[in-house]
Amino acid sequence: MELLNDLKDRSLFRYGAIALALLGLALVLMSTERAPRDNQDQALRGEGKPDGFIEGGTYRTFDEEGLLSSRIHSQRADQYTDAGFILMQSPTGVLFEQSTRLPWEITAKTGRYLLDNENLELSGNVTVERQAGEGRTSRMETERLTLDNRQRLVHTDAPVTLHDSFGQTDAIGLRGQIDERVVEFDQRVRGSYRLK
């Protein structure tokens, strides 16, 4: 009987020692910092490289009623999470006016989407085309344009050319309200209009 108790005591001691060793190992593994791993990931990516990318991505936003308010497509989008932006190659998109649902079609060479404020900064051969109904089309061309999706505004401080069925307007700088269809030119406004 004493031998049996002695074996039980040894087993308890052995299991206790194993449990303590496993607990110590777990604590050591859990206490290692994650920073070296993060630095390793950054080193593998390289300085200034994106955290991730999407080929052929489409981004959609909806208004309070659940209707599609914009759709932007990009051949490639590189996400820089820490810096808070996404770089887009050859973005094309459609913005819809809230009341009429008429589309504004947008194209550019590059785009930079700011995650914090939902602004899309377009650059390089930026065009915005709007169908005005009755076969009328207006087209705006510039080198830079910012789309503020929350405020439903577009603006630029770059030279702008606006073509429509009445003629052409050139200016430096523009601010437009998408849903109200209001465009305000900033300076050096020149227009040439065709009489019908």
Q: What is the pLDDT of residue 3?
A: 47
Please indicate, yes or no, whether residues 140 and 177 belong to a single structural domain of this protein: yes
**Whether residue 79 is found in the same domain as residue 27:** no
Residues 78, 8, single domain; the answer is no
Asked if residue 37 is part of any domain, the answer here is no
Using DSSP bridges, classify how beta strands 153-164 and 167-177 pair: parallel, antiparallel or unpaired: antiparallel
Residues 62 and 103 in one domain: yes
Look up the CATH number of the domain holding residue 111. 2.60.450.10
Residue 6 lies in a domain: yes
Domain annotation covers residue 43: no
pLDDT given at position 42? 53
In terms of DSSP H, where are the helices of the chain?
2-31, 35-45
Give the other-Cβ count within 10 Å of 74's Cβ. 24
8 and 71 part of one domain: no
Tell whether 181 is covered by a domain: yes
**Measuring CA to CA, which residue among 168, 177, 57, 179 is closest to residue 189?**
168
Q: How far apart are CA 173 and CA 156, in angstroms?
A: 5
28 and 70 together in one domain: no
Whether residue 152 is found in the same domain as residue 91: yes
Beta-bridge partner residues of 49: none
Q: Tell me the per-residue pLDDT of 53-96, one tens digit each, with 9 for 90 and over.
A: 889 988 888 888 888 888 999 999 998 888 889 999 999 999 88
Domain count for the chain, please give it.
2
67 and 129, same structural domain? yes
For 177, residues 6+ apart whose C-beta sits below 8 A from its C-beta are 152, 153, 183
Q: Is 69 found in the same domain as 156?
A: yes
Distance CA 122, CA 154 (A): 10
Cβ-based neighbours of 112, under 8 Å, separated by 6 or more? 85, 86, 87, 88, 120, 121, 123
Residue 21 domain boundaries: 2-32
85 and 175 inside one domain: yes
- Residue 44 falls inside a structural domain: no
Task: Kindly state whether residue 38 falls inside one of the protein's structural domains.
Answer: no
CB 125 within 8 A of CB 106: no
Q: Per residue in 23-65, pLDDT tens? A: 666 666 665 544 454 555 555 555 578 888 889 988 888 888 8
Q: Judge whether 138 lies within some domain.
A: yes
Q: Do residues 124 and 150 share a domain? A: yes
Q: Are residues 87 and 154 in the same domain?
A: yes
Residues 145-176: tens digit of each pLDDT: 999 888 888 999 999 998 888 888 899 999 98
pLDDT value of residue 4? 47
Decide if 107 is inside a domain.
yes
| Residues 169, 186, 120, 94, Cα dihedral to 10° | -30
